[in-house]
Amino acid sequence: MRLDKYLANLWVVPRRQIKKLLKSWEVLLNMKCVDSPSIKIQEGDMLSVYGQDIEVKYLVTLLVHKPKSYISSDIDEGEYASYNDLIYDCPYSQLVHVAWRLDADTEGLLLCTSDGKLTQRIVHPKNNCEKEYFVRTALPINQRMVDILVAWVIMDWNVQALLAKVEQLSENELRIIIVEWKYHQVKRMLRAVGNEVSYLRRDRIWEWVLWDLKIGEWKYV
């Protein structure tokens, strides 16, 4: 990849200022000053920009523990901040995008990646990529509700959800595992059985789990 394209993707400076940046001698490639925007860089090369060391990576994947009141969009929207504000200190923050979004009022695991093939594998229901949620409900849960959730529950707008795995943890708590991605799916599933979600957190996407990742923190995969 050309150096100027990679620097633009990182959004170190706006694209129109890349040439000016290179002429300022503030960019090192493998410990050597470079001023040519067309020079080719490879995975594993080491850049230094304004004194910050950045290893050249084309495929980057992060796990983020999203708090409430943050959205999965790349830009802030109204009263909500973007998840990007949580990974501002990651040099690859502008390379990655959320592979499976969460609502603003939902906490939990975001998988952010620059790998398009990984995103497709996670999002497409035919791949049966499990997403696991902890759910607290407004009303007590009975066995009839659990039985319907496990079966082919019909949500609003006559939309049918694929089979889910459901474990009742307490009178008002469930663990639900789904493999598809429908708008507000878990909330709509609970609504379809006469209940409401009062708290929702995603704990797992495929093989990646929140574990000890604290709210607002991120880490490399």
- Residues taking part in catalysis: 103
Count the helices and strands in the chain (H runs, E runs): 5, 15
Q: How far is CA 141 from the centre of its chain?
A: 30
Question: What is the C-alpha to C-alpha distance for residues 109 and 217, in angstroms, rounded to an integer?
Answer: 10
Neighbouring CB atoms inside 10 A of 95's CB total 20
Angle, alpha carbons 106-120-160 (nearest 5°): 60
Report how far apart, in Å, the C-alpha atoms of 188 and of each of 13, 54, 156, 181 are.
Answer: 43, 43, 7, 12
Cβ-proximal residues to 170 (8 Å cutoff; 6+ apart), any chain: none
Which residue matches tokens 């000890």? 212
Q: Residue 70, SS3?
A: strand
Cβ contact 175:166 at 8 Å: yes
What's the N-to-C CA distance of the chain in angstroms? 23
Classified as helix, coil or strand, 211 is coil
